[in-house]
């Protein structure tokens, strides 16, 4: 008998900054009383110990998730203040729970009881993860060390939020009004029209530029004015630092050091040499050294190719553009010109074929065909902005699998980047099974005036990437919260479904579903598609070494940081750049001050996950290349062995179940054009 299902959508309109703290306290107090009751159980069972904990955790999550989400996408002074007041309480609560010896002992009693053998694999995995997380949460520490561990957790929570706020504020703080259209020469008409619209919205005369990514990307890639490119590069790459137009105002220099010192101290308290060692415990890899070896191996293959690509770029700049020196703010501009010369294609050529009104429903069609799903808009739902839509996912049996909120376009007071976040998790609840809900957030180029939003191919790929994360969260079959969706999935495997789905942005059969000229509806001509494919690996080695730079920098930083002196971040960056970088970075650039992934996001000592998961995703897609990109059996195999399993078993087991063997790096090297 299948259980009844329920959808618990957030009520965004009811989030009131004035009452957030008080309402949060109510949820926390309820959760604390549940912990107190279940910790005292002499003979705990799944139903008496874990279920009440799951229910209290779900109630807290359903309350807090819209508050946290709105703080990221509709940031106001009032909401930020309320959110920042609440963070220490949440941090303290989870720290105390992780160190609660009575609760740990009760969980241990359940693990050692006869009932354990009667639990299903997902429940057993969940229980074992819980016990591991208690150890990582400091449950075995002395009272004095527990106290210090709690202080560190509080301080880190505060610092990470401040780091993120500084990046958002620094991004919002910079604007440039252009008074003569000549200065914008080279920019696409759509970017010029958008700049005009921004000025009008602020009652200004001219063209207004800001640091939202679509604007920055457009200027740095197409503006003929080197002075404008340099100014824009400088503003963007000194955000939240001690250099550039707002030097010192939103400075993350000290915060970055403090975060690293506290992480190192936390790791030492738990008996690890450094934070990198602690970070890999719940991951697929075994040690930081294994990660460094993996990255160094890729560097050996990529650096010579990247050096060659950059030399080619410099020669072209000199001969064709009369540029005697290629500065870092010239790279995207010169690259676009070189790409046009070699492949007769520019990023702008494809935009008319990717109106969002075709790309978004087309993506749903691709996924529908791949996994046997139907995706439809849900009307009359409370949303927080006119750009946001809610959609439902139903499978071929007519079963509702989940919902998601799609928030696609860049706007002020919205955190940059693209991400998937959990709104509600699939799990057993009193009414039966609560279905999963996701937030899917991008910062794509918005529509201008009466024209539709036209996307670059890269933006379409970003959309597919985030939807891959969303499917991982929403298509799970696990009803145990701790291993449902992306919960319990090793962090270095969490990018597998997202990177895997990007492959459908390059195949004719799927491209015909997601593209069509916005005026005529015509498909991308064969000639243009051929150019797109040929240009796929244009400067792929330069892009790869950039990712290796981020990954090695992150790993070395967390291996070398100490609780006493922190670490000389610039020295670590210089050392990594000496090894892998081919671009001439200027002294004033301060990229790590806005490197949110590792300082305020979840990728600390884990940025390598993107590259490792790319090995998994390229190899997984190679089975579709062999059997057909819309082969229904292959699609179902990926659905049942990877997406539906959530974190109920180790990621390697799921991969092997789908691929029939362990992953090989060959497909990645072939896809990036680096196969020998």
Please give the positions annotated as active site: 466
Cβ(673)–Cβ(537) below 8 Å? yes
Q: On the CB side of 51, how many CA atoms lie within 13 Å of its CA?
A: 10
Residue 578 is encoded by which pair of tokens?
A: 């000496």
Residue 335 CB-half CA count within 13 A: 20
398 phi-psi bin (left φ>0, alpha ψ -120 to 50, beta other): left
User: Which residues, including other chains, have CB under 8 Å from residue 148's CB and lie 6 or more apart?
Assistant: 265, 269
Nearest to 212 by CA among 180, 174, 186: 174
CA distance 44 to 104: 12
CA distance 375 to 371: 11
Helices 540-560 and 288-321 pack at an angle, to 10 degrees, of 140
Q: Burial code of 3-35, b = ≥16 C-beta within 10 A, e = fewer?
A: eebeebbbebeebebeebeebbeebbeebeebb
Segment 664-667 long-range contacts (CB within 8 Å, at least 24 positions apart) = 664/615, 664/619, 665/615, 666/619, 667/615, 667/618, 667/619, 667/621, 667/622
Radius of gyration of the chain (CA): 25
Q: By the 8 A CB rule, do 183 and 153 touch?
A: no
C-alpha span between 66 and 87 (Å, rounded): 14
Instruction: Give yes or no for a contact between 596 and 164, defined as CB atoms under 8 angstroms apart.
Output: yes
Alpha-carbon torsion 554, 558, 564, 568, what sign? negative
In 3D, which of 656, 654, 674, 657 has the Cα closest to residue 665?
A: 674
Q: CA-to-CA distance for 636 and 625, rounded, in angstroms?
A: 15
Length of the chain: 676
- Two tokens, residue 89: 């309480």
Residue 592's CB is within 10 A of a number of other CB atoms, namely: 21
**Which residue is listed with tokens 């009383």?**
33
* Tokens of residue 13, six digits: 């309109």
CA–CA separation, 503 and 648 (whole Å):
26
| 389: β partners | 406
Q: Which helix (H) or strand (E) holds 419?
A: strand 419-424
CA 87 to chain centre: 21
Give 422's strand partners.
Answer: 438
Inter-axis angle of helices 20-39 and 101-111, to 10 degrees?
A: 50
């Amino acid at each position: 008998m299948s259980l009844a299902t329920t959808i618990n959508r957030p009520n965004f309109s009811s989030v009131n900054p004035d009452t957030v703290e008080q309402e949060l306290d109510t949820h926390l107090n309820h959760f604390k009383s549940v912990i107190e009751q279940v910790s005292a159980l002499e003979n705990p069972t799944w139903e008496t110990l874990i279920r009440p904990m799951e229910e209290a955790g779900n109630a807290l999550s359903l309350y807090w998730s819209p508050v946290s989400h709105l703080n990221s996408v509709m940031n106001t002074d009032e909401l930020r203040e309320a959110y920042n007041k609440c963070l220490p309480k949440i941090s303290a609560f989870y720290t105390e729970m992780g160190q609660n010896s009575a609760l740990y002992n009760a969980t241990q009693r359940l693990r050692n009881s006869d009932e354990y053998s009667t639990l299903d694999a997902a429940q057993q995995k969940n229980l074992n993860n819980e016990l591991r997380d208690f150890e990582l949460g400091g449950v075995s520490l002395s009272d004095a060390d527990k106290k210090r561990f709690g202080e560190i957790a509080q301080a880190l929570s505060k610092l990470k939020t401040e780091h993120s706020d500084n990046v958002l504020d620094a991004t919002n703080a910079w604007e440039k009004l252009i008074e003569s259209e000549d200065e914008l020469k080279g920019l696409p008409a759509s970017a010029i029209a958008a700049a005009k619209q921004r000025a009008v919205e602020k009652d200004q005369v001219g063209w207004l530029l800001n640091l939202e990514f679509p604007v920055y990307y457009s200027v740095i890639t197409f503006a003929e004015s080197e002075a404008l490119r340099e100014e824009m590069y400088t503003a963007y790459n000194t955000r939240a630092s001690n250099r550039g137009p707002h030097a010192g105002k939103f400075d993350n220099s000290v915060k970055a050091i403090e975060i690293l010192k506290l992480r190192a101290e936390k790791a030492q308290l738990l008996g690890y040499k450094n934070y990198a060692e602690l970070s890999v415990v719940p991951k697929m890899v075994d040690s930081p050294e294994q990660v460094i070896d993996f990255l160094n191996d890729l560097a050996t293959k990529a650096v010579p190719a990247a050096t060659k690509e950059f030399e080619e770029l410099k020669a072209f700049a000199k001969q064709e553009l009369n540029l005697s020196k290629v500065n870092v703010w010239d790279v995207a501009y010169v690259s676009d010109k070189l790409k046009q010369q070699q492949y007769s294609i520019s990023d702008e050529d494809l935009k008319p074929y990717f109106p969002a009104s075709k790309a978004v429903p087309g993506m749903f069609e691709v996924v529908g065909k791949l996994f046997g799903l139907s995706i439809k808009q849900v009307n009359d739902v409370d949303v927080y902005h006119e750009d946001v839509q809610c959609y439902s996912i139903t499978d071929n049996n007519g079963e509702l699998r989940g919902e998601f909120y799609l928030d696609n376009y860049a706007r002020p007071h919205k955190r940059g980047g693209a991400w998937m976040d959990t709104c509600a998790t699939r799990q057993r609840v009193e009414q039966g099974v609560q279905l999963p809900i996701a937030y899917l957030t991008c910062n794509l180029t918005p529509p201008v005036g009466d024209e539709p939003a036209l996307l670059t191919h890269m933006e379409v790929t970003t959309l597919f990437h985030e939807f891959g994360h969303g499917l991982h969260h929403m298509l799970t079959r696990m009803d145990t919260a701790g291993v449902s969706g992306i919960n319990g999935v090793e962090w270095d495997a969490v990018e597998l479904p997202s990177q895997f789905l990007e492959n459908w942005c390059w195949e004719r059969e799927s491209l015909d579903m997601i593209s069509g000229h916005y005026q005529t509806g015509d498909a991308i001509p064969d000639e243009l598609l051929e150019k797109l494919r040929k240009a796929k690996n244009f400067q792929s080695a330069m892009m790869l070494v950039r990712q290796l730079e981020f990954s090695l920098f992150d790993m070395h930083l967390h291996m070398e940081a100490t609780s006493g002196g922190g670490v000389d971040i610039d020295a670590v960056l210089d050392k990594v750049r000496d090894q892998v970088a081919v671009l001439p970075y200027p002294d004033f650039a301060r990229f790590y001050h806005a490197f949110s992934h590792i300082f305020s996001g979840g990728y600390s000592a884990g940025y390598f996950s993107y590259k490792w998961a790319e090995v998994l995703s390229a190899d997984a897609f190679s089975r579709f290349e062999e059997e057909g990109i819309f082969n229904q059996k292959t699609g179902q195999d990926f659905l049942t062995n990877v997406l539906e399993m959530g974190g109920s078993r180790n990621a390697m087991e799921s991969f092997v179940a789908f691929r029939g063997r362990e992953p090989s790096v060959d497909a990645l090297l072939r896809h990036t054009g680096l196969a020998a």
